[in-house]
Amino acid sequence: MLGAKHIIEAWLHSKVHIDPFEPKQVGPNSYDVRLGGYLVQVKRNCWWGIDPDKPQRVGKEISIYNSKGKILWPWQLWLGCTREEIGSAHYVPMLEGRSSIARMGLFVHVTAGFGDVGFQQTWTLELKSILPIKVRAGMRIAQVSFHEVSDIGLQYTKEGNYVDQVGPTPSKYRPD
């Protein structure tokens, strides 16, 4: 795992992509990412809930830029995204929630913590709260660490499910 000094060096040498880059967001072994300005609510796609074999349904995208924030209620799932484009063609990026956010009862990802080598875009966040919580655009919501990989045999390519995603992106799950 890269430490602070190595994250900055990797960014300076274009081995880590972070845009925009703010030195104050570099931690001891990760980079804090901020919540972007849009959210979408995940909706049922059948009468009983969510069927993975059917297209995912989401509500209308809402802006949380220039607002006092949005209250997320416990029985809802929201998709947000990072303000930063972040990733690497040289390291495995891994996103985790920040402990200060988790201690307020907000999960920022359900299971999708690993990024593929080569993925260098905004990350979609799966926001689920235990208690009602207000979120605002620009708040430091998660952290990304970078891990060395022993073999870069495959990279995220133009054929990836989420290539060129912009903003909160619903699931593109494809049944086998």
Active site residues: 126
Q: Which residue, 61, 60, 36, is CA-closest to 135?
A: 36
Residue 168 makes CB contacts below 8 A (sequence gap 6+) with: 36, 38, 39, 40, 58, 61, 78, 79, 80, 81, 124, 125
Residue 10's φ and ψ, nearest 5 degrees, are: -65, -40
Say if residues 156 and 116 touch (Cβ distance below 8 Å): yes
